[in-house]
Amino acid sequence: MEWRDEGALLSVRRHGETSAIIEVFTAGHGRHAGVVRGGTSRRIAPVLQPGTQLALTWRARLDAHIGAFTVEPLRSRAAAVMADRRALAALGAVTALLSFALPEREPHPALYARTVALLDALGTGADWPADYARWELALLEELGFGLDLGRCAATGSTEDLAYVSPRSGAAVSRGGAGEWADRLLPLPPLLLGGPAAPGDVARALTTTGHFLDRWLVPALGERPLPAARGRLVAALAS
């Protein structure tokens, strides 16, 4: 069996004396692992950095086998993030969450395209933190845990949406929240496709983090969210 694709490198771990097992996120084959023979060599190891965009050929005798990759670098993202600790933390959070959350070998082409765009944006401008928050919202949606942010759950209004119910994931307007407002999660405009005001990214990550913890984590067997996400939240707050 053989296929060719390209993808973003999520993780690397040593395998035996000279090989490495890598995990990649591809458009056509989802999250996929395989062995890179000679992956610890001085020629290949520098290429195998999380976030690197790779051209991949995967071969195995049977589809159920882990198989082996041959890789060619297409784009390194290390230079863009290495000098920016927040961008570096975001790269770690994206790759860790994808490894944590995505089922193996299941294509998610829309999320893949969004992920590549986010990885390319890290460290290149001021807007990527808002893009990251929207990416977490898209991750929830892709995995079947999408929030219902189109209209107020209490009044049906599409105007002045300001909160999210922590139980249902539905939007609530200011008028519909009433005395319950302090028990609801924030809904900053950036999660509705609007611009990000100061403090909005932190508020957005509070909301997406709640549903990652309350909905996604139990579905995956109660494994805790990757620590890399917490490091990003702390980095963005400092």
SS3 169: coil
Listed by start position, the domains of the chain span: 2-76, 79-149+187-237
Question: What is the pTM for the complete model shown?
Answer: 0.95
Q: What pLDDT was estimated at residue 62?
A: 87
For the segment(s) 2-76, the CATH number from 2.60.40.10, 2.40.50.140, 3.40.50.300, 1.10.150.120 is: 2.40.50.140
pLDDT at 83 over 90: no
Topology match between the domains 2-76 and 79-149+187-237? no
Q: What pLDDT was estimated at residue 64?
A: 84
Q: What is the mean pLDDT of residues 109-124?
A: 95
CATH number for the region 79-149+187-237 comes to: 1.20.1440.120
Taking alpha carbons only, the member of 112, 124, 114, 122 closest to residue 91 is 122
For residue 139, count CB atoms less than 10 angstroms from its CB and return exposed for 0-12, middle for 13-18, buried for 19 or more.
Answer: buried
Q: Regarding beta strands 19-26 and 68-75, do their DSSP bridges make them parallel or antiparallel, or are they unpaired?
A: unpaired
SS3 6: strand
pLDDT at 123 over 90: no
Q: What pLDDT was estimated at residue 63?
A: 84
pLDDT at 124 over 90: no
User: How far is Cα 4 from Cα 11, in angstroms, rounded to an integer?
Assistant: 19
Higher-confidence residue of 128 and 125: namely 128
Q: What is the mean pLDDT of residues 95-121?
A: 97
Q: What pLDDT was estimated at residue 217?
A: 97
